Amino acid sequence: MNSLAAFALATLVLVAVPGPNLIYIITRSVQDGRRAGVVSALGVETGTLLHVFVAVCGLAVFITDHPLAFAVLRYTGAGYLAYLGLRALLLLRRPPSSAVEADDAEDRPDRRRLLRLYRDAVLVNVLNPKVVLFFLAFLPQFVPTGLTSAQTRTRMLVLGAVFLAIALAFDLCYALVGAALAGRLRGTPRRDRRLSYVTGGIHLGLAALVFI
């Protein structure tokens, strides 16, 4: 088995294992619908693409070699997840009329809302320091020795593209699964409130996982 095929197989195994990306995308899809889940999947993998470029350009080494830079990334990522969680919980404190208006607005797939969901997904992935460490350790294992610097960067970009394609396929499946679950989990005000509590709790839990 050549290194590219071995990389694809390893990627399939890694992506198939449930992780923060899966949890985030399914949560968004259940909470806001299929289109929101698909947009979130695209945002997460845009973040993956940025991580690949960071690893290829050597910036990942800089981040990991400088404790202050790594700490800033870590705390910023945890803070943003905590912000998303608190935002979901604070929406529950709105007056009923405002809550209804907010729900109606969320049901409209307007461009501004989808851009916000896309931005959130990109930042959730980009600000995760564990992803920086992952690509820094994972990609070089499948780069043959004896290559020039340019050949090494090209090889890592190819590997990153393979990883991105596989991960995006899985993420889109997660979005569709979340949309299918939405019909069972939503539908009444009580269910919607419970789901909002769960969504906020999941985001806060993901923020805590950054430190584990």
Number of separate domains in the chain: 1
The alpha carbon of residue 55 and the mean position of all alpha carbons in its chain are separated, in whole angstroms, by: 18
Per-residue b/e over 179-209, b at no fewer than 16 CB within 10 Å? beebeeeeeeeeebeebbeebbebbbebbee
User: Please, how many CA atoms are within 13 Å of residue 86, restricted to the half-sphere of its CB?
Assistant: 7
pLDDT number for residue 191: 66
Helix ranges, 17-92 (H): 20-32, 34-57, 59-65, 67-90
pLDDT number for residue 160: 93
pLDDT digits (tens, 9 = 90+) for 148-203: 888 999 999 999 999 999 999 999 999 998 888 877 766 666 766 777 777 788 87
Q: Which position has the higher pLDDT, 47 or 101?
A: 47
Helices (H) and strands (E) in the chain, counts: 10, 0
Q: For residue 197, give its domain range.
A: 3-209
- Tell me how far apart the alpha carbons of residues 90 and 195 are, in angstroms, rounded to a whole number: 13
- Tell me how far apart the alpha carbons of residues 88 and 100 are, in angstroms, rounded to a whole number: 15
pLDDT digits (tens, 9 = 90+) for 82-114: 888 888 777 655 554 444 444 444 444 578 889
pLDDT digits (tens, 9 = 90+) for 116-138: 999 999 998 998 888 888 898 88
* Token digits of residue 96: 């009923």
pLDDT number for residue 17: 81
- Tell me how far apart the alpha carbons of residues 58 and 156 are, in angstroms, rounded to a whole number: 11
- Tell me how far apart the alpha carbons of residues 40 and 64 are, in angstroms, rounded to a whole number: 27
Average pLDDT of the chain, as a whole number: 82
143-to-53, 132, 148, 155 alpha-carbon distances in Å = 15, 18, 11, 7
pLDDT number for residue 105: 44
pLDDT digits (tens, 9 = 90+) for 20-32: 888 889 888 888 8
pLDDT number for residue 186: 67
- Tell me how far apart the alpha carbons of residues 171 and 115 are, in angstroms, rounded to a whole number: 18
DSSP code, position 146? T
Band of residue 45 on the pLDDT scale cut at 50, 70, 90: very high
- Tell me how far apart the alpha carbons of residues 159 and 155 are, in angstroms, rounded to a whole number: 6
